[in-house]
Structures are given as structure tokens and as C-alpha cells.
Amino acid sequence: MRRHSAFWIAALAGDLLLASSSRAQTPAPPDHTATYRADSLRLSGRPWHAAETLLAAARRDPNPNAFLIVEGAKAEVQAKRYEHARALLAGQPWLLDYLDGEALAVLAQAEFGVDRFAEAAAHFQMARTRAPAARVPLLAVRAGLAFDAAGQADSAAAAFAAARAGGKLASIDTWLRVRQARVTRDTAAASQLVVDVAAPAARDVPVARARSLLLAGDTTRALAAFAKAGKGLDAARLALATGDSARARTLLYSLLTRDPLSDDAAAGVGLALGPLPPHAPDEHVAMARALNRRASVRDARIHVEHALRAGDSTAATLLLYGELHRAPMPGHSRCTGAGACWCGSVIPRRLPRSPDSPTATQPTARPPERCTSWAICTTAGTTGGRPAAGTAS
């Protein structure tokens, strides 16, 4: 009886060991809870939270699979954290073989976001060779944009031509034609590409013609084309590169006068601070208008004062001078005190103070003796006549 019981116990223990080993060998079904939650967060406009959810799930998994890593990288791209997305995917051993080049495309988007355009173009091209037919034209467009940003015009033209082939992107064909024309060295072919381009893509046609002329080496016509297209900064840079500093100066300060707060004007300030500094009073005024931004008001005042000392007393210049002096600066306040006025900024006497100023109550006809002869002050505040910190006395 004891021997029979011993055999039964041994058999039962063997069955339990076999069952536990079979359960250990059977892979656990993947848990998609984190993926579903991340999709919900992404669709609700919260890409950063989606990325954090997927990355947290990948950290919990002792052997994180490629799916979680790629989905986390996608969420990072949606959140515009391109460097994080690139760090997740770069160097992964399964990168080239993952799901028809999807991981390669995500890596290329991340590289484009951190201005690694040549690498992004190469990875977009690699993704094209692995992608299904429906995604190939879109990847070709992205490759063309990356090649263009990397300065590889011929490769960009070939990529845009491949994207247009087959007519699968007919809805954006006019835009693709303009893009292809701007990276085409053959000016006749470029002109043919932009024939009868409808709006709104037609607005970029003049710049595309100018770019094509520049690629063809016709700098004279390209300079005139950039100027005609309203790209004064590009025209000024090209004129400066060809040694025509007089024309570059004219183009630059025309841009600063015409559109002083544009992005091109902000970039043009670098030229004005370097090889093309202002000399004439109108150039100083144009420079001041371009510098009339939150962090450079003091520099703008200096240039207006240069113009005033050079004899520019026009109403527009004086009005700009008054506006600049009304702009607050760190460590300065306009007027404080009761019965006495302390000025932290100077306003020309001939210009009336704005009645809707938040610190103005009643402008005085003559400034107090403590103020400079060029100031118009107001009495405001209840600081007992003491100047505020950082104000002039």
C-alpha cells in the first residue's frame, strides 16, 4: 500500500512539473492595453501623453518588443520631440526589416525634425524600396523635401518626378510641379513645369523660376528674378556674394523699410550688423524699425538717435523715436511719485503723451526740474516722490 501511494504521489508531481513547464513555454498573449490607451490619447490631441504611456509600457517589459518602441517613436514625432524619437530607433537591429519600412520612415521624420536632412533623405529612400505601392509616392515626396533641404537638387528633382509618376497624387500635382521646377537645372524644363499652374500654388512660381536660374548658374537673371518675386533677402545675399555691395545694400534696406517685422527682415539684421552696416539716416531708421522688437528696443533707439543727429527730423522718425521711448525696458519705469516726477524713459517734448497710457493721469505742461529737458512726465503713483528702482533721477 505504501509503495502504491508513493508511485501515485510521484506521478502527480510529474504531471504538475510537466504542466508548469508547458505553461512556461507557452508565450503570454501580448497586452495591448497601453497601445489602446496611447491611441486614445493621440486621437484626443495629447501626443506627449501617448508617448509617455508607450515608453512606460516598454520600460516595464523586460524584453520590449519592436512594436512598442516604434509606436513610442511615432508618438514622440507627433509631440515634436524629434531627438527622443531618433534616439529610440537609431541603431536598432530590426530597423531595416520592420513592417515594410515603417520604422525607417519614422526615423527619417525624426531626423528631418532635427535638421539632419541628408540622413533623413537616405532613410526615406530606403523606406520607399520596402513600402507597399500605396505609400511609395508619399515617401518619394518626403524624400524630395529632405533632398531639397540638404542642398541635393538633382536627387530632389528625381524624387519629385517619381512622386508625380502614375498620377496617384493628382490632388497636389500643381504643388509638386512647382517643387520640382525649383530644383531643376534646366530652365526650359522648369518653365514647362510651371505653365498654367493655378492658385494658390502659382504664388510660388516666381521663386521657383529664380531658384532654377540660380541652379543653372545665371546669377544676373536669378538676382533680378528674386528681387521681382519680393525675396529681397535672397537677392541681397546673392548680390553680396557676387561682389555687388551697392545693390545688396539697396535691396537689404528696401526690405527693412518695406516689411521691418517679417522673418526675412529679422534674418537681414545679421547682414546689417555685419558686411552692410547702415550709413545714411534713412538706413538707420530702417534698421531701427527692424530692431523694434521686445528684446532689442535699446538698439533701435540708438539707431534712431544716429538718424536724428544726422539731421533727420521728419515726423515719421520723431514719432518712431517717441514710440521707442514709451516701450518699457528692464529696470526702468516711466513715472512714479506724488508731487515729484522721476523719469525712466525719455519722450520728445514736441510729441504729446498718449492719453490712454496706463500710468498717465494728467500730463504736465512743463516737466519738473528733476527731469531732463527732453522729457514730458506725468505724476502717478503714491511712492512719496521717491524714484522707482532703476529709474533716472
Question: What is the model's pLDDT at position 337?
Answer: 40
Residue 49 confidence (pLDDT) above 90: no
Residue 6 has pLDDT above 70, yes or no: no
Give the pLDDT confidence of 80-89 residue by residue, as tens digits.
999 999 999 9
The CA–CA distances, whole Å, from 15 to 5, 21, 22, 24, 222 equal: 15, 10, 10, 14, 85
How many Cα atoms are found within 13 Å in the side-chain-facing hemisphere of 356?
Answer: 0
Q: Where are the domain boundaries for CATH 1.25.40 in the chain?
A: 230-327
User: pTM of the prediction?
Assistant: 0.69
Cα–Cα distance measured from residue 305 to residue 22, given in angstroms and rounded to the nearest whole number: 87
Q: pLDDT higher for 21 or 35?
A: 35
The Cα 322–Cα 43 span in angstroms is 50
CATH 1.25.40 fits 230-327, yes or no: yes
Note whether 62 and 46 are within 8 A (CB). Answer: no
Asked if the model's pLDDT at residue 330 lies above 60, the reply is no
Q: What's the pLDDT score for residue 338?
A: 39
pLDDT tens for each residue of 289-309: 999 886 788 999 999 999 999
What does the pLDDT average to over 157-181? 95
pLDDT average, residue stretch 106-123:
97
Between CA 76 and CA 87 the distance in angstroms is 10
Higher pLDDT, 42 or 290: 290
Task: List pLDDT tens digits, range 226-243.
Answer: 999 999 999 999 999 999
Q: What does the alpha-carbon distance between residue 319 and residue 300 come to, in Å, rounded to a whole number?
A: 13
